[in-house]
Amino acid sequence: MRVVFMGTPDFAVPALKALVGAGYPVVGVVTQPDRPKGRGKKIQPSPVKQAALHMGLPVLQPVRVRDAAFVEQLKQLEPEVIVVAAFGQILPPSILHLPPRRCINIHASLLPRYRGAAPIHRAIMNGERETGVTIMLMDEGLDTGDILLQQAVAIGEADNAGALHDRLALLGAELLLQTLNLLKRGCLHARPQEDSFATYAPPLTREDEIIDWERPARDLYNQIRGLDPWPGARTWWGEQVLKVWRAGVKEEAAPKGALPGQVIAGGEEVVVATGRGCLSLQEVQLQGGRRLPVAEFLRGHPLAPGTVLGRSKGGCHS
């Protein structure tokens, strides 16, 4: 079965490696153009491009997949199936209907829940206890195609987005091979999604990173781990951004009169009052610095009880 693979970030790499390892002829790998990354903004290839070149696979990097010249290039490869994993561009009908065995997508949620760009982050941020991977036939909607295979995964209490991402990427590769094997044998039966149960996972915004100390501690804990290792939850300490990478929930109420965002304990531990309960900061990063366990951070940056983190809704620092 001739395969064209379309993907860009780390999430897609295990699936590409699984295809090659299983002996599928990958006749082309399509990924996003090289982009500037990191502090130095150096032009870098995507993780999928790096993996493809390492395996000696031909790489295509169209600026727009809907351009007629690229669609014609894709036709010349004569793929029987196109596998898509976090590619980053919407496929036009001219590509969706090109391969005889259709376009198959690996999506990191239990569809129809968490359709969209950020299903892993959003599931953790919303406090979900379960997510999974769905292999689906692609159509012209946003993750609305018929389901081929699906498998659930528990979200652990301490899981962050990075840990869950890695587990789901490996599961996606495994389910992909199962799907193609069943497809070859004619044993696969697609089922439509129940649109009435659909929820959405829109792309992360800068606002999603801001810690609102008036929210309950449990919600903030989920937000922090859902944004680790990227892009990170943040608050303000005076005029500087303070990122919070790890935290713990303390269910006991803050002392009477404590403001949301107010440090109520310092020393070897930083405990902050929230809208309900308290949050224990465990790993932080001050603007321009590096991630540090809070005990190490406090040796160079004393954070005294009474300090109020964050800023008011009007934009002024608290």
Mean pLDDT of 87-114: 97
Residue 107 has which token pair? 């999506």
Q: What is the mean pLDDT of residues 92-96?
A: 97
Separation of alpha carbons 52 and 45, rounded Å: 11
Give per-residue pLDDT as tens, 132-181.
Answer: 999 999 999 999 999 999 999 999 999 999 999 999 999 999 999 999 99
Per-residue pLDDT tens digits for 204-245: 999 999 999 999 999 999 999 999 999 999 999 999 999 999
| Per-residue pLDDT tens digits for 124-140 | 999 999 999 999 999 99
57 is annotated as contributing to ligand binding: no
CA 20 to centroid of chain Cα atoms: 24
Q: Which two tokens stand for residue 309?
A: 């983190």
**Model confidence band, residue 200 (pLDDT cutoffs 50, 70, 90):** very high
Cα–Cα distance for residue pair 166/206, rounded to 1 Å: 24
What is the reported pTM? 0.94
User: pLDDT confidence of 311, banded at 50, 70, 90?
Assistant: low
Helix H segments across the chain? 13-21, 47-54, 68-77, 93-96, 119-125, 161-185, 206-209, 217-226, 294-300
Does the annotation flag 36 for ligand binding? no
pLDDT of residue 39: 74
33 is in an annotated binding site: no
pLDDT digits (tens, 9 = 90+) for 10-64: 999 999 999 999 999 999 999 999 999 877 789 999 999 999 999 999 999 999 9
Between the CA of residue 295 and those of 133, 239, 280, 287, what are the distances in Å? 38, 22, 12, 17
Question: pLDDT category, 316, cuts 50, 70, 90?
Answer: very low
112 labelled ligand-binding? yes
Determine the pLDDT at residue 312.
Answer: 45
Are 108 and 85 contacting, i.e. CB atoms less than 8 angstroms apart? Answer: no
Q: Which domains does the chain have, with CATH numbers?
A: 3-197 (3.40.50.170), 206-300 (3.10.25.10)
Q: State pLDDT tens for residues 261-304.
A: 999 987 778 999 999 999 999 999 999 999 999 999 999 999 99
Backbone phi, then psi, for 182, in 5-degree steps?
Answer: -70, -35
Q: What's residue 47's pLDDT?
A: 98
Average pLDDT over residues 302-318: 71
Q: How far is CA 277 from CA 4, 134, 261, in A?
A: 51, 36, 11
pLDDT higher than threshold 60 for residue 317: no
Q: Which two tokens stand for residue 30?
A: 């399509």
Distance of CA 267 to the CA centre of its chain: 35
The span from the CA of 148 to the CA of 175, in Å, is 10
> What are the tens digits of pLDDT across the range 292-308?
999 999 999 999 999 99
pLDDT at residue 266, rounded to an integer:
73
92 pLDDT more than 60: yes
Residue in the structure block whose two tokens are 């020393």: 267
Mean pLDDT across 242-269: 91
pLDDT on residue 265:
85
